[in-house]
Amino acid sequence: MPEESQPITLEAFAEAIKELPLSAVYAKVSEIRNSIAHLRRSNSELRAFIDESCESESDKRELEGYIAENEGVITTMNERLGLLKTEIENRGELWIEEEGAADTKVDGDQASASLSSQPVNGTVRDERPRAHLDATGRPEDAQTNEEEGVYL
């Protein structure tokens, strides 16, 4: 039986994103925010099931364990968002803040999927990522050779 694959460390992630084109960095931000939103929805549904339908204490404990595991993944994803923010700013670019700051925190643990525009020199500049996708749905400049590269 093959070993379970583990995500790369935060240090390796920080090093790997330095090599990515800016469009891929922005695409990774969107991907992580989307993943966090799905984990939050899943946890909400699990909590509702526990409160409304779950009768067995052992089932409740098991489901609460899944919720805790998801929260741990969300924490790691938020740490990665912080690294992506640092990388983007180190390249002299503006970090994309999401609309409704109460819904999203880079260092916190909430996320939503919308992006906003930011004023630059008195004008509004659209800061949404511009990743161009190929036929498989991957950014055109993303690593496509399945045997080489770093997968984030």
Beta strands in the chain (DSSP E): 117-120, 123-126
Q: For residue 63, is it within any domain? A: yes
- The model's pTM is 0.63
pLDDT digits (tens, 9 = 90+) for 101-122: 334 444 444 433 333 333 333 3
Rounded distance between C-alpha atoms, residue 100 and residue 115, angstroms: 9
Rounded distance between C-alpha atoms, residue 37 and residue 77, angstroms: 11
Q: For residue 15, is it within any domain? A: yes
Q: For residue 59, is it within any domain? A: yes
Q: For residue 53, is it within any domain? A: yes
Rounded distance between C-alpha atoms, residue 68 and residue 74, angstroms: 10
> The tokens 């891929």 sit on which residue?
24
Q: What pLDDT shows up at residue 113?
A: 37
Q: For residue 40, is it within any domain? A: yes
Q: What is the dihedral of CA 145, 37, 49, 67, to 10 degrees?
A: 70
Q: Is the pLDDT of residue 63 over 90?
A: yes
Tokens in use for 40? 């939050």
Q: Among 52-61, 68-77, 109-118, 143-152, whose mean pLDDT is lowest?
A: 109-118
| Structural domain for 35, as ranges | 10-91
Q: For residue 117, is it within any domain? A: no
Q: For residue 20, is it within any domain? A: yes
Mean pLDDT in residue range 17-35: 95
Q: For residue 151, is it within any domain? A: no
Instruction: Give the residue, 86 or 101, on which the prediction is more confident.
Output: 86
Total structural domains within the chain: 1
Return the SS3 of 120. Answer: strand
